[in-house]
Amino acid sequence: MNRPADMTASLDLGLPWNNRFAGLGEAFHSLRSPTPLPSPHWVGTSPAVADLIGLDRAWLSSPAALDAFTGNLPIAGTQPLASVYSGHQFGHWAGQLGDGRAILLGEVDTPLGPQEVQLKGAGLTPYSRMGDGRAVLRSSIREFLCSEAMHALGIPTSRALCVIGSPAPVRREEIETAAVVTRVAPSFIRFGHFEHFSHTGQHDHLRTLADFVIDRFYPVCREVGGNPYAALLEAVSERTAEMVAQWQAVGFCHGVMNTDNMSILGLTIDYGPFQFLDAFNPGHVCNHSDTGGRYAYNRQPNIAYWNLFALAQALLPLMDDQQQAMDALEPYKALMPAALQRRMNAKLGLTEVQEGDAALTEELMKLMAQDAVDFTIFWRRLSHAVIGNLEPVRDLFLQRDAIDTWIERWRARLEDQPGFDAATTHAQMLRTNPQVVLRNHLGELAIQRAKAGDFSELARLQNALEHPYEELPGQEDLAGFPPAWAGQIEISCSS
Ligand code: AMP
Ligand code: MG
């Protein structure tokens, strides 16, 4: 049944909605309601995100919820809008972009602070440019699963409440079907929002936006003395460094680190052609559209700096001089490698960073790259090796002598730690090195089944991803090596 939105009726979810972003004024957005989709059906839901925004879990599976989160039924208290931003895409200034297919409903005040709720794929907006305002089922499932997987890994990310499918056709390389993801984050403000107001010379609005972000998310920037906008830049670069360090440590490639996809809160957002590494290849490029390899795995820390530099340029009109911006960016250069080494040390079972640890890690990465060792499986096997035998780790390498030498160095460093206890280190490493991540082929299998109307594989995968450090009985296939066809999967910007 095709249910058109009845603009006279609206649904009261009983949530404390606020519309603070809407309150910024017309320069920041266009009020726009979602465009209804025919015959919506549930694809996946996340009860944990329902809890986060104070939504009754049971109600989330109701027909009214289905209509509300498809965008077919207005929600009382919301003020739906699309925001305007600009950005650098693949290193080039792209001019005005904006929410071309995401509609911000509003924000819900929760005990953990405000949470914005967006419908992605909810129809045309004034910023849709050549696009159709829609998202296809496959990419919506990937965003849904990855949001929840990253959260369970402890990586800052936007969350996903649900995915809803519709038989409405959507044209990409072939005809696919539409879907809507309801995503949730304290704010979806991007570096590109700042670039927009800076590059268009709207410096009053730039200041309004920066004050909005500082007041709500970085109040300390006003308390440290000095220029609060320089302090904001430094704080954002700290959060970005921590986020990217976590990406590197888990083998996550974002795929499209354009400045319009960089969260001002240091959250992983805009899941598109992302990938978790299978065989370790430091130069791996997951996005088939990224022909120059700009967003290769090992370039992510530098690209984040490039993006922070673009943010710094955007904030210049609010600073005293250029030096202030450069000074604010400077700490990133040391913070980023330090954050990464801390993460890598934890993966190795080392509680503190010492001189020589960087060399130990580098040598390992070199050996893993040479033998194209599976990233996730290596770390999990290494964790178990602390109390067991090392054969499963050695089995991953062709160059046994080289890995044996490395293992000796690592064991010596491990056992040298004051109060070293193998059982404690084993448990700590198992909490640090996931056994299941959202590999491309796992997502692909769930997507193929979902396209055929069977959502059980998606639910099984979601459950495993929500408990990435647990060895779930009967789910061993999710933790195994990727099949040969995994290497053939091509993920592009098309979504
Ligand atoms: P992305 O890099 O995928 O996050 O998208 C870049 C820009 O294109 C953003 O402004 C999106 O809102 C917009 N966009 C992507 N796909 C579509 C679509 N199908 N319809 C409208 N806008 C889109
Ligand atoms: Mg984007």
DSSP 87-107: EEETTEEEEE---SSEEEEEE
Query: Residues of 92-108 as b/e, b for ≥16 C-beta within 10 angstroms?
Result: eeeeebbbbbbbbbbbb
Q: What is the pLDDT of residues 3-48, one digit of tens each?
A: 444 445 899 999 999 999 999 999 999 999 999 999 999 999 999 9
- Give residue 135 CA to ligand 2 midpoint distance, Å: 12
Intra-chain end-to-end CA distance of the chain, in Å: 26
Work out the pLDDT band at 1, boundaries 50, 70, 90. very low
More confident residue, 92 or 9: 92
Evaluate if residue 84 carries a pLDDT over 60. Answer: yes
Q: Which ligand 1 atom minimizes the distance to the CA of 495? A: 16
Residue 110 near residue 15, CB atoms below 8 Å: no
Q: What is the pLDDT of residues 140-160, one digit of tens each?
A: 999 999 999 999 999 999 999
Q: What is the pLDDT of residues 406-449, one digit of tens each?
A: 999 999 999 999 999 999 999 999 999 999 999 999 999 999 99
Q: What is the pLDDT of residues 334-382, one digit of tens each?
A: 999 999 999 999 999 999 999 999 999 999 999 999 999 999 999 999 9
The pairing of beta strand 175-185 with beta strand 113-120 = antiparallel
Backbone angles phi, psi at 422, to 5 degrees: -60, -40
Q: Which ligand 1 atom minimizes the distance to the CA of 261? A: 4
Instruction: Give every CB contact of residue 479 below 8 A, 6+ residues apart in sequence.
Output: 376, 377, 380, 435, 436, 471
Query: Across all residues in the chain, what is the average pLDDT?
Result: 97
Residue list, ligand 1 pocket, CB within 6 Å: 97-101, 128, 131-134, 256, 258, 261, 270, 272, 493
CB-neighbour burial class of residue 111 (10 A; exposed 0-12, middle 13-18, buried 19+): exposed
Pocket test for ligand 1, best of 88, 89, 97 (most atoms within 8 A of CB): 97
Among the listed residues 429, 276, 410, the one whose alpha carbon sits nearest the alpha carbon of residue 347:
429
Q: How far apart are CA 398 and CA 303, in angstroms?
A: 33
Among the listed residues 215, 232, 209, 216, the one whose alpha carbon sits nearest the alpha carbon of residue 28:
209
Q: And the tokens for 409?
A: 């160095």
Mean pLDDT of 52-75: 97
Q: How far apart are CA 153 and CA 260, in angstroms?
A: 24
Length of the chain: 495
Is there a catalytic annotation at residue 109? no
* Per-residue confidence (pLDDT) for residue 102, from 0 to 100: 98
Evaluate if residue 2 carries a pLDDT over 90. Answer: no
User: Which helix or strand (DSSP H or E) is residue 31 part of?
Assistant: strand 29-31
Residue 169 near residue 177, CB atoms below 8 Å: yes
Q: And the tokens for 223?
A: 């308390």
* pTM (predicted TM-score): 0.97
Q: How far apart are CA 39 and CA 168, in angstroms?
A: 8
- Which residue in the list 99, 260, 278, 374 is annotated as catalytic? 260
Evaluate if residue 282 carries a pLDDT over 70. Answer: yes
Q: Which ligand 1 atom minimizes the distance to the CA of 134? A: 19
* DSSP secondary structure of 147-179: HHHHHHTT--B-EEEEEEEEEEEEESSSEEEEE
* Per-residue confidence (pLDDT) for residue 8, from 0 to 100: 59
Q: How far apart are CA 331 and CA 89, in angstroms?
A: 25
Q: How far apart are CA 397 and CA 53, in angstroms?
A: 46
